[in-house]
Structure 1
Amino acid sequence: MASKEICLYPPVPVVHVPVRLALRDIKPPPTTDSNKDDNNSKNSHENDEKKKREALINSNFTNFIHRDKISDIKIFIDGVQVNNSPNAEEKKKSPILSSISKFFSGDSNNNQKDHFYGTPDAQFIPLNKESAIFIPGVEHANKELTISFTMKKKTFELKSTIEYRHQREWTSIGAQDGGDDAQHPIRIMQYNIQADCYTSPGGYPGCPPYSLYRNYREHVLSNYILEWKPDIACLQEVEVRMERLRNSLVDAGYQHTPLCDLAKYQEEQAIVYYRTDRFDLIESLLVNYRQLKDLLKPKQLEPLARSSCTSKYIDLLGDSMHHNKFSFALLKDKQSGSHILAGSVHLYWGAPSYDVNYFLQVVQLQIFMKLAENILERNSLPKDTPLVVSGDFNNGPGQKAYILMESGEYSLNGYPLTHSFNMKSSYALRPQGEPKYTIRTKHFFGSIDQIWVSDKLKVSKILEIGDHYPIQLPSLTDPSDHIMLLADLYVSNNNDKLTTTTTTTTTTSTTTDDINNTNE
Structure 2
Amino acid sequence: MSSPPTISRLRLLSDQPVEGCELTPDIFLANGVPAHTCRLEYKWYRSITKMACSWCGKTPVIMQRLTDDSYFCSVACFTNAWQGHPNQHRTGLTSSGVRTETAKQAEGWVGRDFTETTEQKWVEVSDVSTYIPSLDDAVTPLSADGSQKGIAKTLKTNYPGTNRTNANRLGFTLLTYNVLSEIYATADAYPYCAAWALPWNYRRRNIMRELINYRADIMCLQEVQADHFENFLEPELAKYNYAGHDVEFNTIARQRHSNDRNVLNRLLKDNVAQLLVANTHINASPEFADVKLWQTQHLVLEIERMLTQHSGSTSTIPVVAAGDFNSLPGSDPHTLLANGLVQPENGDPSGVLATLPLRHSLPLRSAMATVGAHANASAESHELQRMEPPYTNYTTSFVGTLDYIFYTVDRLSVGGLLQMVDDRQVQEHTALPSPLFSSDHTPLLSEFHFKR
TM class, shorter-chain normalised?
A: 0.5 to 0.7
Q: Which residue is 2:304 aligned to?
A: 373
CA pair 183-237 structure 1, distance change in 2 beyond 3 A: same
In 1: Cα distance, 2:272 partner to 2:264 partner: 16
Alignment of structure 1 residues 463-482 onto 2, 5 Å: 463-465=418-420, 466-468=422-424, 469-470=426-427, 471-482=430-441
Matched, 1:217 2:203: yes
Question: Percent same amino acid among aligned pairs?
Answer: 20
Deviations 1:349-408, CA, capped at 9 Å, x for gaps: 225x3xxx2222111111111111111222235422111110111112211111100011
Structure 2 residues not aligned, in runs of 5+:
1-15, 31-39, 62-115, 349-353, 378-386
In 2: Cα distance, 1:174 partner to 1:254 partner: 25
2:237 match: secondary structure: helix
In 2: Cα distance, 1:420 partner to 1:186 partner: 24
Alignment of structure 1 residues 35-434 onto 2, 5 Å: 66-67=44-45, 70=47, 72-74=49-51, 81-82=58-59, 101=123, 105-106=125-126, 121-122=128-129, 124-127=131-134, 129=135, 131-133=136-138, 144=146, 165-171=154-160, 183-242=169-228, 243-258=231-246, 286-294=247-255, 301=256, 314-318=263-267, 320-322=268-270, 324-329=271-276, 342-350=277-285, 353=287, 357-380=288-311, 382-384=313-315, 385-412=317-344, 413=347, 416-429=357-370, 430=372, 432=377, 433-434=387-388
Structure 1 residues not aligned, in runs of 5+:
1-7, 25-50, 52-61, 85-91, 109-120, 147-159, 259-285, 295-300, 330-341, 494-520
CA pair 289-141 structure 1, distance change in 2 beyond 3 A: closer
- By how many angstroms is 1:287 displaced? 3.0
CA pair 135-378 structure 1, distance change in 2 beyond 3 A: same
- By how many angstroms is 1:187 displaced? 1.1
Q: Which residue is 1:41 aligned to?
A: none
Contact 1:141-1:162 at 8 Å conserved across structures: no
CA pair 234-376 structure 1, distance change in 2 beyond 3 A: same
Which residue type is aligned with residue 404 of structure 1?
L
2:219 match: secondary structure: strand
CA pair 189-478 structure 1, distance change in 2 beyond 3 A: same
Q: Which residue is 1:336 aligned to?
A: none
In 1: Cα distance, 2:143 partner to 2:158 partner: 21
Structure 1 runs of 4+ aligned residues shifted over 4 Å read: 12-16, 62-66, 92-97, 140-143, 160-167, 172-176, 311-314
TM-score after normalising by structure 1: 0.56
Which residue type is aligned with residue 391 of structure 2?
Y
Contact 1:190-1:235 at 8 Å conserved across structures: yes
Deviations 1:242-283, CA, capped at 9 Å, x for gaps: 12233211122211114xxxxxxxxxxxxxxxxxxxxxxxxx
1:391 match: secondary structure: strand
In 1: Cα distance, 2:442 partner to 2:325 partner: 13
Contact 1:172-1:461 at 8 Å conserved across structures: no
Q: Which residue is 1:499 aligned to?
A: none
1:186 match: secondary structure: strand
Contact 2:321-2:406 at 8 Å conserved across structures: yes
1:371 match: secondary structure: helix
Q: Which residue is 1:11 aligned to?
A: 19
In 2: Cα distance, 1:83 partner to 1:173 partner: 39
Q: Which residue is 2:64 aligned to?
A: none
CA RMSD, Structure 1 to Structure 2 (Å): 4.2
1:442 paired residue among 377, 396, 406 = 396
- By how many angstroms is 1:317 displaced? 4.4
- By how many angstroms is 1:321 displaced? 3.2
Contact 1:193-1:221 at 8 Å conserved across structures: yes
Contact 2:154-2:210 at 8 Å conserved across structures: no
Contact 1:142-1:161 at 8 Å conserved across structures: no
1:457 paired residue among 390, 404, 412 = 412
In 2: Cα distance, 1:312 partner to 1:190 partner: 34
CA pair 328-166 structure 1, distance change in 2 beyond 3 A: closer
CA pair 400-172 structure 1, distance change in 2 beyond 3 A: farther
CA pair 245-467 structure 1, distance change in 2 beyond 3 A: same
- By how many angstroms is 1:162 displaced? 5.2
- By how many angstroms is 1:123 displaced? 6.5
More strand by share: 1
In 2: Cα distance, 1:240 partner to 1:360 partner: 23
TM-score after normalising by structure 2: 0.64
Deviations 1:64-117, CA, capped at 9 Å, x for gaps: 66428x5745267x9872379xxxxxxx999976xx63xx515x8xxxxxxxxx
Contact 1:441-1:481 at 8 Å conserved across structures: yes
Which residue type is aligned with residue 343 of structure 2?
S
In 2: Cα distance, 1:13 partner to 1:369 partner: 39
Q: Which residue is 2:109 aligned to?
A: none
2:432 match: secondary structure: coil
- By how many angstroms is 1:442 displaced? 1.7
